[in-house]
């Protein structure tokens, strides 16, 4: 399709995210968005901060600030970091926006009218030490399923089993650590997911091209029923979307807010509303992305997320969309990821272990991180970041293969022909063989990118860079010019066109370097639909400049220093 809607998992507002968070949703989503824009397709790429619930309240209290002020400041921090990593969102919104408040209350009203929300009087956990009801995720204990001793009251991060706080063994407050927890009566709204089981199963069974990771998690929850228990969608909190039925008050729900897992996915839709309002556009402009009765039936909608988010996006959010009875767009493809580990362990905020987004940008430009993370994306299993691997990929791929090629070609041309594409000579058998090889490789690269096979796409892109280096080494213009200046001119003319081609193909992965290459060549960013023609885009006489060194090599001393600096505190 020519219109692509892309959303990446919405990060919590409390704190700066580490590289594992980045590669698990936002970065591959950006790769997908940039690729499709490069192909001339219309893209809407949306994300936001997830600002409601206890995490935001506690983080604000720790910072000594009102929660709304804290969220506004942290939104800007996360927005600046996303800009630093060149994440090309069309809108980076906020789940606390007026648009999301209105939409969340609207969906709640529709679901209630459809008989999919009911009021339930239940017993919840109250902590006298904290003076509050504890949300599920702020009760910790031992998982009865796998024995993990830091399972949360809503889900075990270790085995992904969905839980209730009362399921936990030896529960404690994650806020104060108190084990003095007592049950108290309160009334909440429940989303009756169980009523949608058959409809969800038919929908998921119809998704034949989803990744195995996505479908296996979704079907596991369907088959054992764990993901389809009716789930509470309100909480006894101060910060969040007030409970209403559309615009009407909800008797008995005064002082309560919607649970963050109900309103956060709705922000995907609200972000498009925020985008339209920011542009001064009317309702029809964001409806055309989200409503099938307003043009969204010709949109391909792709979501990116870590595997822990899959159950909510294959079950709970689709129940909200389907259950509303309105023609909202359902996701077409969910790209889910395993975890990125750090140097033999896990990333840890509390221990200062691993590289976080702000730290990464403080030591190296974004392209270094983008390239390593994407070429090692945890698609079929967990990946592990090591400084040795990072140094090797940066030096061999970026500096030695791509950067060296650009430098050799442009500097040789400047010294022998000046800063213009040289005239004379014609492409011969060596050039024809290279073009034929690259024709196959570029189409393979496209297939991997279309299928969102990120590691395969990165490997093919590197092979395309290598092909140019091998051609240059074999054609040896520095030797040819001694006997046949026209032959050397033809070699360099093709090589300068390769620089442009590499910039276009590489832009989704390393946008800053690609931009520098295109600027230096003074060339268009047109996609190479016809490779033979694409490698003649820069015609004889076209001016260019020699770009600065695209990638500096990482030294052993730098590698060792960073490994020590980000190893975390040791007891």
Annotated binding site for Zn(2+): 143, 146, 156, 159
**Are the C-beta atoms of 130 and 173 separated by less than 8 Å?**
yes
Q: Which helix (H) or strand (E) holds 28?
A: helix 27-38
Among the listed residues 459, 452, 336, the one whose alpha carbon sits nearest the alpha carbon of residue 24: 336
Residue numbers in the known binding site are 143, 146, 156, 159, 349
Q: How far apart are the C-alpha atoms of 9 and 23, rounded to whole Å?
A: 11
Annotated binding site for ATP: 349
* CA dist., res. 204 & res. 108, Å (int): 24
* H/E stretch holding 303: strand 299-306
CB of 503 closer than 8 Å to CB of 525? yes
Contact 303, 210 (CB under 8 A): no
**What is the Cα 114 distance to its own chain's centre?**
34
The answer to whether 139 touches 172, Cβ cutoff 8 Å, is yes
Do 305 and 342 form a contact (C-beta atoms < 8 A)? no
**Alpha-helical segments (H) within 181-282:** 197-205, 212-224, 260-278
Nearest-angstrom CA–CA distance, 111 and 105: 10
Closest CA to 373 of 15, 20, 7, 14: 20
């Amino acid at each position: 399709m020519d219109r692509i809607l892309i959303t990446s998992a919405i990060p919590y507002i409390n704190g700066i995210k580490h590289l594992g968070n980045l590669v698990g949703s936002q970065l591959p989503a950006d790769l997908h968005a940039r690729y499709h824009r490069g192909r001339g397709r219309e893209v809407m790429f949306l994300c936001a901060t997830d600002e409601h619930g206890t995490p935001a309240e506690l983080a604000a209290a720790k910072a000594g600030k009102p929660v709304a002020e804290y969220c506004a400041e942290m939104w800007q921090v996360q927005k600046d970091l996303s800009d630093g990593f060149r994440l090309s969102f069309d809108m980076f919104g906020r789940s606390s926006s007026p648009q999301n408040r209105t939409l969340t209350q609207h969906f709640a009203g529709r679901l209630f009218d459809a008989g999919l929300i009911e009021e339930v009087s239940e017993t919840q956990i109250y902590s006298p030490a904290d003076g509050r009801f504890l949300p599920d995720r702020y009760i910790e204990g031992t998982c009865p399923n796998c024995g993990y001793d830091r399972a949360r009251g809503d889900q075990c991060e270790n085995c992904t089993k969905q839980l209730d706080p009362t399921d936990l063994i030896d529960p404690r407050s994650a806020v104060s650590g108190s084990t003095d927890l007592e049950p108290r009566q309160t009334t909440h709204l429940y989303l009756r997911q169980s009523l949608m089981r058959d409809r969800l199963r038919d929908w998921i069974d119809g998704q034949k091209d989803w990744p195995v990771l996505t479908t296996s998690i979704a079907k596991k929850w369907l088959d054992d029923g764990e993901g389809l228990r009716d789930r509470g969608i309100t909480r006894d909190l101060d910060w969040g979307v007030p409970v209403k039925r559309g615009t009407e008050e909800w008797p008995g729900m005064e002082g309560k807010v919607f649970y963050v897992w109900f309103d956060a996915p709705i922000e995907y839709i609200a972000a498009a509303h925020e985008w339209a309002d920011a542009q001064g556009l009317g309702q029809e402009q964001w409806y055309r992305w989200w409503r099938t009765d307003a043009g969204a039936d010709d949109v391909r909608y792709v979501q990116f997320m870590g595997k822990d988010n899959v159950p909510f996006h294959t079950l709970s959010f689709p129940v909200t969309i389907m259950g509303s009875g309105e023609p909202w767009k359902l996701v077409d493809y969910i790209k889910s990821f395993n975890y990125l580990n750090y140097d033999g362990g896990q990333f840890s905020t509390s221990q200062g272990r691993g590289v976080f987004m702000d730290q990464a940008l403080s030591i190296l430009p974004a392209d270094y991180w983008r390239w390593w993370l994407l070429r090692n994306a945890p698609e079929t299993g967990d990946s592990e970041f090591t400084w040795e691997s990072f140094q090797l990929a940066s030096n061999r791929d970026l500096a030695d293969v791509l950067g060296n090629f650009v430098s050799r070609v442009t500097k040789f041309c400047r010294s022998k022909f000046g800063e213009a594409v040289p005239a004379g000579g014609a492409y011969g058998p060596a050039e024809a063989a290279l073009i034929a090889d690259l024709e196959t490789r570029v189409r393979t690269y496209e297939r991997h990118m279309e299928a969102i096979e990120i590691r395969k796409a990165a490997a093919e892109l590197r092979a395309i860079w290598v092909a140019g280096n091998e051609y240059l080494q074999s054609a040896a213009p520095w030797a040819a010019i001694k006997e046949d200046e026209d032959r050397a001119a033809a070699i360099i003319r093709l090589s300068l066109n390769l620089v442009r081609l590499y910039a276009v193909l590489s832009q989704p992965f390393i946008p800053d370097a690609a931009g520098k290459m295109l600027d230096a060549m003074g060339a268009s960013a047109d996609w190479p639909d016809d490779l033979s023609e694409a490698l003649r885009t820069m015609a004889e006489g076209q001016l260019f400049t020699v770009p600065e060194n695209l990638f500096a090599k990482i030294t052993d001393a730098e590698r060792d220093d960073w490994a020590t600096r980000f190893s975390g505190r040791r007891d």
